[in-house]
Copies of this chain bind each other. A is one copy, B any other.
Amino acid sequence: MTTALSHEVLTERHRPHLDQALEAVRTRAYWSPHPEHPKAYGDTAPADGLAAFEALRGSRFELDQPGTDGWTGGEVSPYGFELGVEYPHPDVDVLLPAMRAGMGAWREAGPELRALVCLEVLARISARTHEFAHAVMHTSGQAFMMALQAGGPHAQDRGMEAVAYAYAEQVRTPLVAGWSKPQGKRDPLELRKTFTAVPRGVAMVVGCNTFPTWNGYPGLFASLATGNPVLVKPHPRAVLPLALTVRVAREVLAEAGFDPNLVCLAAEAPGEGLAKTLAVRPEIRIIDYTGSTAFGDWLEANAPQAQVYTEKAGVNTIVLDSTADYAGLLSNLAFSLSLYSGQMCTTPQNLLIPRAGIDTDAGHKSYDEVVADLAGAVDKLLGDDARAAALLGAIVNPGVKERLDAAADLGEVALASREVTHPEFPGAVVRTPVIVKLDGMKPGAEAAYLEECFGPVSFAVVMDSTADALDLLRRTIREKGAMTVGAHTTSAEVERLVEEVCYEECAQLSLNLTGGVYVNQTAAFSDFHGSGGNPSANAALCDGAFVANRFRTVEVRRPA
């Protein structure tokens, strides 16, 4: 292939990272090739990234993809201004067939070259991390540092992890095998066999508002690395980060000699419901979705022609039984509740606390004391407006604000939400979290705590005992699902019981986090995000199950 991005060039550039990623998912030790520190991207990166973002504002985002029947847009930054970017609107009857045109050559490229092309895409995205950070910040409402880290290196890590799993899965079967079966005194039966990973068809990624890149990259790269064209349907409020991603992917594909239409954007017109239309198209054979339970359930039931991977709503619980580090517990939990205004699928919602209180290294603490101390820890963490804004980010959309406002009526307010003035963006809606007291032993309170209340709302649920808390934990995971579970205990027996619930109901558990690791954060290559085994998600990021069904293996056998 006469291309600047030859297999050889890409091998030299990215094969070491692929091998390190494969080793990391095997050992689950810490590893990342994408730096978290903003300064790691060079002295001019901050200014360049901001300038690149500013240049995009008020422009048409040209992608030169086939089947464009108009332009659409309308993103408004949660920090209070219109982005003014317009994206091509697809004529799917033209676009979908065009996306299939390059499938043969992409299949023939084989697993390694596909993986390396994907890693080149990620490397170019990584180089523009500051630009992506502004795009993520001004669509999701994340604070800048979080947008840079979660929307940049962490998302890139998850994309690379998916590439590694996809590659490993495809090369478990060799490309060629000789087969010789003994036949006693007669000559053996001999066959030559070839095995080819073949794609399913067009994959659709349905992006979400809060983590367009972090939640979008695993499916995007898993499908692309297994040979499938990928159509990216972003959330209408968070198009820009994925449009930039699509543009980079198209550039790299073309430079590597492949059809750029293997990756296309499907931006929707306001209120169009394009994902629903696309989901039932026969060309769409894989769907990755992050969002509401209602639409996730709809996809699972109504797109039988596709493999459907969903991350939906859940109700995350922290069980408080006892602790050897009360101050650490409070500061860790305060941070978890505050980060990105609780707008993470992994943020704890229900804090289950025994009516008799908990034993701590600072003495016994009653239920009321624990709640008051937690409220105090949040207050202290968010006391300064500038610091609060840098942690909270902005409320992503009016729905979250409505839930926050309504939460105060659900029970006794232990910590009221307050408005924070953003030092740089006065138009941003910034709010501190509310903590509401509920009685978990009174059936009437279920209506509040057994539903996901997405946003900066948590419930300090009093329980008669830790045993009751574990019963409620089990019921919550089974009926509502959970992306995360946390527990604090100094008792080996309670620890064992919590683990047992999580094994039986299939939820990821963090125990006694009191330092700089938070229950709502997972690290690619080491932690699983979700389990895929409870109602909050039918897949985990990332494991063999996430990639194994995105391709099939076709065997051709002939006499040797």
Contact = CB atoms under 8 A, between A and B. Distances in A.
A208 to B, nearest CB: 22
A530 to B, nearest CB: 9
A28 B533 contact: no
A531 B553 contact: yes
A178 B29 contact: yes
A502 interface: yes
B506 A198 contact: yes
Nearest to A197: B503
A433 to B, nearest CB: 24
Nearest to A165: B172
A28 B191 contact: no
Contacts of A209: none
Contacts of A107: 503
Contact of A554 (B200, B502, B514): B502
B557 A179 contact: no
A181 B30 contact: yes
Contact of A543 (B173, B182, B514, B515): B173
B179 A526 contact: yes
A304 to B, nearest CB: 7
Interface stretch (A1-9, A345-353, A544-552): A544-552
Given A28-B173, A554-B506, A512 B179 contact: no
A85 interface: no
Given A509-B556, A558-B512, A193 B304 contact: no
A92 interface: no
A28 B193 contact: yes
Contacts of A502: 554, 556
A514 B191 CA distance: 11
Interface in A166-189: 169, 172-174, 177-183, 189
A301 interface: yes
Interface in A22-38: 25-30
A504 B201 CA distance: 9
B556 A181 contact: no
A511 B543 contact: no
B513 A169 contact: no
A176 to B, nearest CB: 9
A514 B557 CA distance: 12
Contacts of A301: 304
A556 B511 contact: yes
A555 B533 contact: no
A271 interface: no
Contact of A540 (B517, B523, B553): B553
Given A104-B504, A198-B506, A545-B552, 16 more contacts: A26-B174, A28-B174, A104-B500, A104-B503, A169-B544, A173-B543, A300-B304, A301-B304, A503-B554, A507-B554, A511-B557, A513-B559, A531-B553, A531-B554, A540-B553, A548-B548
12 contacts: A27-B174, A27-B177, A30-B180, A179-B526, A502-B554, A509-B555, A509-B557, A512-B559, A513-B558, A528-B553, A528-B555, A545-B552
Interface of A: 25-30, 104, 107, 169, 172-174, 177-183, 189, 191, 193, 195-196, 198, 200, 300-301, 304, 499-500, 502-504, 506-517, 523, 526-528, 531-533, 540, 543-545, 548-549, 552-559
